Chain A
């Protein structure tokens, strides 16, 4: 039998007249990095806050590390680590003071030195946190989430607002958490992040998980797992005639058309034939694997970034 780090069934949460989460089911085994991927307002943060014991669900049942929030709230709190979207700290608290302060709240905690080393902030130990860069601040927030050596770590949009280098640095840290046997539940709206980091992904929209699986499963499970991108060196021409010729929907972009292919072996010759027939000014043709972005698009008809 699998030991679940998180086992949630039938979660619903309503704020006023909006259904933030609608009947969500989620099981995460221990040792997994699980990502909730979805656009802003999909209900990711509300889901996380219910699992973290911050928000009471209207309906549904939650077990965290086999414990229930109703009975064992403090036992859960000593065993989880949380990185919220914003970590509010006093401007004038130093990095090591913040680590000490949070550490003092737990019966057992890691030393500040060890945490500083982990997130590579040793040189900033005595710096006021208000003076840290965005990436350093986020690394500190992560260190604070790890201060009690948690078995389960919640990361809510851990890399939002970070530059690409800082983002990669944080990814390495998250991978290290997994290698130490911790379970990680994170939310993101970066598909690349989800694809790189996560063992499994739940694609979330409008308060529900639409699809769940490994990144590979999600992509190969698509009706159109490949995309042809037809590139022009000028503005893209009108795609209607081409779409009619292909019998497939065509998404026009700034410089290219994107066509989802379900069977490249059959579709590609047809595609080239249509291009020749319509005498299109095509420059290049690329065939690429579908991404998680495309998974979201095909499931919802909308883009993640909208």
Chain B
């Protein structure tokens, strides 16, 4: 036993040392989630802000209705730019306008740029709302009341910003990467290139060796998660609201699940090239349908249900609940159950299919 522990420790340290000698590879492994957080956080900020600018094409002198409409639009935070139709059309054709309001004196039309539907749709909603208010004012109704709205996370403790949504997603995605790319690739490389075979001629016990190799990847994943947490805290001011025990337990369960998945996948590949294709197919499809970077609420219902039964989406749900809302892991029963079931099945299959040679 003492000998196995010694071998485990030495293999683990050697593995880390060898990784430290390959800075480009390690940078990608460790810093990918942080880079994604910084880039996506910068792009989408604290929630998607609607476009502030509305171009209005009008060739006649403004009527009193037009004047009131424009004033109310500006009161709702829009910068209204009035152009003659010819200029407005050439702006439209440049492709930069999300939407274009045309006409005057109650005869308005609204055009939305198909390629900027997100912004255009939000502009439309505001313009429509302000138009109704304008008409109400004109017919003497006065100020219309609005229902107050706030962004909030399901548990009510998070602020509901995009970065809060993104960070736990990256935390989970990182584990999928560790499992499918790092561990699976290592396994298939060692097997295809005869590394395992050479070790199999020595008295080294397989579980000791594999534990050390997985340990190396887990250390890297832990560094990566720490960097991600630090970046979230320092740059975006968000931090874990839940207990670190719950968070850690979830991450360990997720890591076991995805590392098993990596080894299981690798057991079906006979070459590094073949594995590359398999790993990407699994990684990309899981990532795209599990709501890592964006919510799936506009996806077809069957796809959302499917994702709920795959391991990544439930794990991300539980991670978000714990990280953003300080939820207890026990309250995340269904999600944890799905993840735990996957973990058990994948682990058993991976162990049974593992090949040393």
Contacts and interface: CB of A to CB of B under 8 A. Distances in A.
Interface of A: 52-55, 74, 77-78, 80, 82, 84-90, 92-93, 97, 101-102, 104-107, 128, 148
B22 interface: yes
Nearest to A86: B194
Identify the 8 closest CB pairs spanning chains A and B, nearest first.
A88-B195, A82-B201, A92-B21, A88-B193, A105-B202, A77-B203, A105-B204, A74-B203
A80 B195 CA distance: 18
Interface string B1-31: 0010011001100100010011000000000
Interface string B197-235: 111111110000000000000000000000000000000
Given A90-B18, A101-B10, A104-B7, A84 B203 contact: no
Contacts of A54: 197, 200-201, 357
Nearest to A93: B18
Contact of B194 (A77, A87, A105): A87
A89 B197 CA distance: 12
A5 to B, nearest CB: 16
A102 B22 CA distance: 22
Contacts of A105: 7, 199, 202-204
A92 B20 CA distance: 10
Main secondary structure of the interface of B (DSSP, over half): helix
B201 A88 contact: no
Contacts of B195: 88-89
Contacts of A87: 194, 198
B190 interface: yes
A191 B276 CA distance: 41
A130 to B, nearest CB: 10
Interface centre among B18, B198, B204 (most CB of A within 10 A): B198
A106 B202 contact: yes
13 contacts: A54-B201, A74-B203, A77-B202, A82-B198, A82-B201, A84-B197, A86-B193, A88-B195, A92-B21, A101-B10, A105-B199, A105-B202, A107-B203
A97 B20 CA distance: 15
A102 B14 CA distance: 12
Contacts of A77: 201-203
B203 A80 contact: no
Given A77-B203, A104-B7, A105-B203, A92 B22 contact: yes
With most chain B CB atoms within 10 A of its CB, the pick from A53, A77, A78 is: A77
B10 A104 contact: yes
A88 B10 contact: no
Given A93-B14, A105-B199, A105-B203, 17 more contacts: A53-B200, A55-B357, A78-B203, A84-B194, A85-B194, A86-B194, A87-B194, A88-B194, A88-B195, A92-B18, A92-B22, A97-B14, A101-B10, A104-B6, A104-B10, A105-B204, A107-B3
B14 A101 contact: yes
A88 B7 contact: no
A57 to B, nearest CB: 14
B21 to A, nearest CB: 4
Contacts of A53: 200-201
Contacts of A101: 10-11, 14
Contact of B198 (A74, A84, A90, A148): A84
A175 to B, nearest CB: 23
A88 B204 contact: no
B201 to A, nearest CB: 4
Contacts of A92: 18, 21-22
A49 to B, nearest CB: 8
Contacts of B357: 54-55
Nearest to A90: B18
Contacts of B3: 107
Nearest to B204: A105
Contacts of A52: 201
A80 B202 CA distance: 8
A88 B14 contact: no
A93 B22 CA distance: 11
A111 to B, nearest CB: 16
A89 B193 CA distance: 9
Nearest to A101: B14
A128 B22 CA distance: 12
Contacts of A86: 193-194
A89 B202 CA distance: 15
Contacts of A128: 21
Nearest to A55: B357
A112 to B, nearest CB: 14
Contacts of B21: 92, 128
Contacts of B7: 104-105
Nearest to A82: B201
B186 to A, nearest CB: 11
Please indicate which of the listed interface residues A80, A88, A107, A128 has the most CB atoms of chain B within 10 Å of its own CB: A88
